[in-house]
């Protein structure tokens, strides 16, 4: 099974690494890190990732994972990722996104009229791109699975493991990575965080609408 993890400048590293750690250790998978070129790609906090294949070289994958970025308008305007998604999505078994990666799926026409989720600060933008926006942490519609902000990529990947390899394999994976979150604060969503903090976060997170 071919897994394609999409790379582009300033992607959010955990959007990529969370699903990779969950999916990359499953049986009989081949992982591809796909980008416009084979030159190293720098994530938004400085992590450098080396692609293994280019968009021109990879014309199909069983599973596609598209991470997000705080500067999500940039890859939308560049159009390189969306052009590749239009080409490979029709033959993929699963097409997925994490955080603002859903805006790239939407721009490629994959989410038109479909339920999907994204980072809370980009819900209006995703709706403007034609998706039916949900506030759920993980949303599945047919062969498309979207995750909310950043850390939700782990939930999405575990959901996908359950769909592909079965619930027991997903539970085993959850146990092995000791995914039993007990955050020290209850401020992980705009519904639970103080209103003033939500307003500050909207203005502070680069690239997101205020």
What number of H helices and E strands is found in the chain? 8, 11
Put the strands of the sheet holding 94-98 in their side by side order. 53-54, 30-35, 2-6, 63-66, 94-98, 144-147, 138-141
Contact 5, 18 (CB under 8 A): no
For residue 139, the surrounding DSSP H or E stretch is strand 138-141
Contact 20, 52 (CB under 8 A): no
> CA 103 from chain center: how many Å?
10
The token pair at 185 is 């604060």
Residues with catalytic roles: 99
Contact 88, 60 (CB under 8 A): yes
Angle at 195 between CA 194 and CA 198, to 5 degrees: 90
Q: What distance in Å separates the CA atoms of residue 97 and residue 157, rounded to the nearest whole number? A: 10
Q: What distance in Å separates the CA atoms of residue 180 and residue 161, rounded to the nearest whole number? A: 17
């Amino acid at each position: 099974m071919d897994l394609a993890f999409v790379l582009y400048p300033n992607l959010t590293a955990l959007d990529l690494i969370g699903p990779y750690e969950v999916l990359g250790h499953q049986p009989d998978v081949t992982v591809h890190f796909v980008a416009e070129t084979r030159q190293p790609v720098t994530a938004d906090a400085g992590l450098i990732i080396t692609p293994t294949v280019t968009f021109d070289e990879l014309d199909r994958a069983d599973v596609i994972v598209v991470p997000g970025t705080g500067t999500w308008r940039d890859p939308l305007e560049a159009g390189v990722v969306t052009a590749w998604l239009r080409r490979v999505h029709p033959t993929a078994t699963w097409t997925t996104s994490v955080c603002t990666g859903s805006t790239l799926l939407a721009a490629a026409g994959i989410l038109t009229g479909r339920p999907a989720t994204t980072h809370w600060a980009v819900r209006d933008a995703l709706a403007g791109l034609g998706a039916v926006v949900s506030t759920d942490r993980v949303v599945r519609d047919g062969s498309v699975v979207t995750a909310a902000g950043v850390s939700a990529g782990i939930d999405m990947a575990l959901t996908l493991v359950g769909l592909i390899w079965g619930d027991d394999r997903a539970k085993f994976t959850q146990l092995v990575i000791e995914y039993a979150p007990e955050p020290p604060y209850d401020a992980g969503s705009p519904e639970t965080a103080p209103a003033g903090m939500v307003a500050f976060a909207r203005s502070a997170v680069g690239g997101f609408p205020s």
